């Protein structure tokens, strides 16, 4: 307990703890594409690395490329081969474009044939010390920084005495540690269930161990690499596929892929104005677009219309085809009014055509990436991703597509994919390879089968970061391309083909009938208005007559009232008063009466 308390007291607090000074291990770059990324900088400098693998896994190529790339970068090296002659090594290297003879003349590389006769070893006359003395002389002459000892198991298997073999290995290990060179030993494991004596010793002797493997999956061969150990350094611990290309080894560190996608650029036209309108302006530049549909729905035609459009504007496209040859595809597209020959002839369109099963996914991927780096396309087409499973299975297809999409997005390249579905309506058929989350725009093409005919409809299922039409659209493929029709919905939903035409005729007839009914109603209203005017005139005349009659009656009533008034007065007056009254009321009549009497 006291010891524990003392231990706890002696432990520094986080606030007062001194930071440990970490000195990183010095490393030497292999200059092999992808390998330095896995080794996090390269192999430990001035230490020994062991490359283990069966025949055909690429041990010798890896070791030789380590020397070749180092010599090109100012680090001379020595290659010691116990299996092949120096001339054979030069010829094999020439197939990869490596001119070893030129480096040898410049004193940057030395190839040493170390093939030993079994009789010499058995007689006891052979010793590694003599060989190492020769190598040391060359090291001083070249000022070599790197050394590769290839197929050392050829020599070690000649030693019948395990003690002597261990002694020779100790001699080699001590010598490598004294010379200060970065060394690679290549060894082929034995065929037994347990490792041989020299294998166990080499594993413990080496500071780094890299295991190479070659396997066949679904009749497709794949090479892989795994760093077993690397003393004093961190490294990628997964298994990584690699290929031997025309330029050398390329390691594909799929599991180290980072998300470095660039943001979308401005939208680029699809080549079809109606589709541009449906997508809100076109495809986002730098995005991933997927066309999914059954065979014959026009997936290749849609992407080819886009290719023709962008190439006509001076942009470049790389077209990867797994189902048709270059010439056959160009010929077939002519029947739909799409001519890719001008784009190809101008150098703005390049093709990669190959059967998926012709090589593994890593080789397909590296072939595409190398062409992208050389051609610098603005857009890439992969037609069709449904064929990628033939590269070695579903996982192989996923690895290929994930890397391809990530590589294009990281470079700001628009990538268009086509996928042949089996006609199912569920979302598992969108990509079929588990890459739906990487796809930004999905356009589904499908058949609508009616009695006696089949039509095609288009639906945008998603387009990330952009508004788009949510309706289904019928489209027609003709000798002039693709014509996307307006949305037409009837009582039973979206109508296409003959049903659409029939419904259009019915509605046209209804429209004409309605138009005729409107005209008849307008005439009826006009007639009623005329009758109304006539009746109004008659009524106005009757009103006027009635008004005149009313005026007459009122006048007669007034006269009657006056007469009655006069009668009342007459009853209360004598005759003379009446005469006087009459005279006052009508003096003119009196004067006229006098004149008449005189006459």
E-strand spans in 316-413? 317-321, 349-353, 379-383
Question: 92-120 b/e with 16+ CB inside 10 Å = b?
Answer: ebeebebebeebbeeebbbbbbbeeeeee
Which stretches of 11-146 are DSSP H helices?
35-38, 59-72, 86-94, 100-105, 118-123, 128-142
Residues 419, 385 contacting (CB under 8 angstroms): yes
Nearest 5°: CA angle at 475, between 508 and 462?
120
Catalytic residue of the set 323, 324, 326, 459: 323
Catalytic residue list contains 517: no
Q: Which residues pair with 489 in a beta bridge?
A: 494
Residues 206, 213 contacting (CB under 8 angstroms): no
- Helix (H) / strand (E) element for 166: namely helix 162-179
Both structure tokens of 299:
């997936």
* Secondary structure class of 111 (helix, strand, coil): strand
Residues 496, 455 contacting (CB under 8 angstroms): yes
Cis amide leading into 384 (omega within 30): yes
Please tell me the distance from the alpha carbon of residue 251 to that of residue 225, in angstroms, as a whole number: 8
Catalytic residue list contains 323: yes
Catalytic residue of the set 83, 315, 363, 389: 83
Please tell me the distance from the alpha carbon of residue 442 to that of residue 292, in angstroms, as a whole number: 7
Residues 305, 482 contacting (CB under 8 angstroms): yes
Please tell me the distance from the alpha carbon of residue 275 to that of residue 458, in angstroms, as a whole number: 10
Please tell me the distance from the alpha carbon of residue 388 to that of residue 397, in angstroms, as a whole number: 5
Closest by Cα among 153, 477, 411 to 261: 411
Q: Which residues contact 361 (CB under 8 A, 6 or more apart)?
A: 222, 241, 388, 391, 392, 396, 397, 399, 400
Q: What is the DSSP letter of 31?
A: -
Q: Which residues pair with 380 in a beta bridge?
A: 318, 415
Residues 180, 46 contacting (CB under 8 angstroms): yes
| Count of Cβ atoms closer than 10 Å to residue 144 Cβ | 26
Residues 387, 323 contacting (CB under 8 angstroms): yes
Find how far residue 567's CA is from the centre of its chain.
Answer: 120
**Catalytic residue ranges:** 83, 323
């Amino acid at each position: 307990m006291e010891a524990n308390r003392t231990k706890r007291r002696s432990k520094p607090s986080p606030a007062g703890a001194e930071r440990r000074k970490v000195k990183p291990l010095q490393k030497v770059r292999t200059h092999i594409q992808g390998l330095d990324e896995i080794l996090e900088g390269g192999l430990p400098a001035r230490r020994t690395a062991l490359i283990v693998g069966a025949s055909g896994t690429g041990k010798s190529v890896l070791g030789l490329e380590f020397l070749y790339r180092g010599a090109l970068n100012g680090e001379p090296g020595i290659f010691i081969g116990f299996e092949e002659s120096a001339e054979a090594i030069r010829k094999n290297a020439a197939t990869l474009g490596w001119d070893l003879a030129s480096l040898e003349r410049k004193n940057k590389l030395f190839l040493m044939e170390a093939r030993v006769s079994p009789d010499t070893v058995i007689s006891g006359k052979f010793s590694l010390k003599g060989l190492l003395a020769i190598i040391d002389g060359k090291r001083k002459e070249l000022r070599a920084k790197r050394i590769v000892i290839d197929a050392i198991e050829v020599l070690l298997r000649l030693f019948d005495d395990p003690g002597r073999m261990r002694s020779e290995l100790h001699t080699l290990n001590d010598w490598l540690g004294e010379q200060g060179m970065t060394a690679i030993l290549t060894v082929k494991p034995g065929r037994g269930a347990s490792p041989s004596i020299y294998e166990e010793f080499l594993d413990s002797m080496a500071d780094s161990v890299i295991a190479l493997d070659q396997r066949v999956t679904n009749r497709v061969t794949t090479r892989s690499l795994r760093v077993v150990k690397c003393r004093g350094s961190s490294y990628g611990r997964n298994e990584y596929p690699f290929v031997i290309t025309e330029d050398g080894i390329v390691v594909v560190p799929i599991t180290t892929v980072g998300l470095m996608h660039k943001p979308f650029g401005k939208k680029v036209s699809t080549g079809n104005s109606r589709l541009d309108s449906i997508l809100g302006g076109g495809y986002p530049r730098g995005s991933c677009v997927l066309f999914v549909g059954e065979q014959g729905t026009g997936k290749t035609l849609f992407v080819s219309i886009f290719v023709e459009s962008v190439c006509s504007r001076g942009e470049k496209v790389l077209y990867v085809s797994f189902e048709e040859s270059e010439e056959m595809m160009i010929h077939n597209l002519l029947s739909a009014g799409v001519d890719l020959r001008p784009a190809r002839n101008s150098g703005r369109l390049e093709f990669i055509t190959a059967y998926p099963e012709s090589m593994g996914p890593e080789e397909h991927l590296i072939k595409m990436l190398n062409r992208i780096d050389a051609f610098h396309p603005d857009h890439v087409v992969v037609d069709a991703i449904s064929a990628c499973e033939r590269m070695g299975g579903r996982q192989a297809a996923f690895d290929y597509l994930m890397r391809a999409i990530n590589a294009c997005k990281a470079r700001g390249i628009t990538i268009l994919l086509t996928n042949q579905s089996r006609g199912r309506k569920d979302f598992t058929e969108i990509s079929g390879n588990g890459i739906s989350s990487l796809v930004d725009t999905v356009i589904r093409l499908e058949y609508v089968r009616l009695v006696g005919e089949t039509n095609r409809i288009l639906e945008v299922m998603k387009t990330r970061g952009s508004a788009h039409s949510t309706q289904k659209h019928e489209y027609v493929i003709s000798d002039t391309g693709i014509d996307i029709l307006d949305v037409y919905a009837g009582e039973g939903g979206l109508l296409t083909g003959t049903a659409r035409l029939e419904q259009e005729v019915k509605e046209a007839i209804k429209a004409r009938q309605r138009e005729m009914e409107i005209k008849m109603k307008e005439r009826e209203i006009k007639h009623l208005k005329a009758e109304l005017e006539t009746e109004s005139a008659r009524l106005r005349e009757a009103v006027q007559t009635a008004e005149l009659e009313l005026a007459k009656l009122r006048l007669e009533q007034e006269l009657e009232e006056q007469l009655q008034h006069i009668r009342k007065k007459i009853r209360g007056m004598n005759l003379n008063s009446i005469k006087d009254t009459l005279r006052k009321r009508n003096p003119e009549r009196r004067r006229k009466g006098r004149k008449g009497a005189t006459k």
